[in-house]
Amino acid sequence: MNAALYGRMLSVHLKGFLNYAIGSAFYILLMFWLYPGIAQNAKAIDDLVASMPPGVGSAFGLNGFGTAEAFISGEYYGLILVLILSIVCVQLSTQLMARLVDQGAMAYLLSAPTTRAKVALSQALVLATGLLLILGVTTLAGFAGDAWFLRGKYAFDTAGFLRLNASAFLLFFAVGGISFLVSALSDDEKRARGISGLIAFGFFSLDLIGKFSDKIDWMRNLSLFSLYRPGEVVSGPGDMAVTSAILAAIGLVAFGLAVGLFRRRDLPL
């Protein structure tokens, strides 16, 4: 890794990271603020969800409202956070690699006394740091929401909440790795963004559609998002160790391939 490049790129993108982190913190605090009112009518809402067509509750993360983390896992971690971090992965991976090649800035980086591998690794670490920062702020905001709005009056499993954030990080570590790989192999910023967006939101769409019916449940097997089940994560560790290991391995392999292939490819410099 090139420490100077890492620090410089981190400072360049820090404002963007903080904007996403603050937005994520705002939304999760909103969920905590809403929960006391939801909890008072939890049974009626659960009955309403049960009356919906099969698959609707699963598709949109309506996992029950008996506990704060169950409500938040469905309403926030099952949809809003997924969309936020998908956008972060697609946009940032493109900016860190393909944009620099497309605009000619990569030539200036490689003219310095460093190697391609170190440049790519530094950029990959910037992306991973950004994801970690956003989820770290989200986690802290969740604990603040518990202290401010729940105040011990409603059940809140802190261990389950931590598992939820760890699971979300690993999912987007894998998605970010794939997006970064696409960006490292592309000379065109728009093309890289388009392909990465198609992959990320294609995975999301396959997982979402597959939840609607058992007949098309097989579609979820084609998506990384099938390994991310926030409702199950908060109810217990379950198979989280297995899915976490798979997601971590996918992310490491994707980032590793990006670094290795970028080092060997021909660049239009």
- pLDDT attached to residue 177: 95
Q: In which band, very low, low, confident or very high, does the pLDDT at 268 lie, cut at 50, 70 and 90?
A: low
Which position has the token pair 């993360």? 61
Is residue 25 situated within a structural domain?
A: yes
Q: Is the confidence at residue 211, as pLDDT, over 90?
A: no
Spell out the SS3 assignment of 180-235: HHHHHCCCCHHHHHHHHHHHHHHHHHHHHHHCCCHHHHHHHHHCHHHHCCHHHHHH
Q: Work out the pLDDT band at 214, boundaries 50, 70, 90.
A: low
In a domain, 175, yes or no: yes
Cα separation of 54 and 57, whole Å?
7
Is residue 108 pLDDT above 80, yes or no? no
Spatial distance between the Cα atoms of 235 and 102, rounded to a whole number of angstroms:
46
What is the structure's pLDDT at 124?
94
Closest CA to 89 of 133, 136, 128, 119: 128
> How many distinct structural domains can be found in the chain?
1
In a domain, 269, yes or no: no
Over 90: is that where the pLDDT of 228 sits? no
Write out the residue range of the structural domain in which residue 260 sits: 3-264
- What's the pLDDT tens digit per position in 70-101? 788 877 888 889 999 999 999 999 999 988 88
Residue 214: how many CB atoms within 10 A of its CB? 10
**Residue 224 maps to a domain:** yes
Decide if 227 is inside a domain.
yes
Question: Which residue do the tokens 């506990």 mark?
Answer: 67
- Is residue 19 a part of any domain in this protein? yes
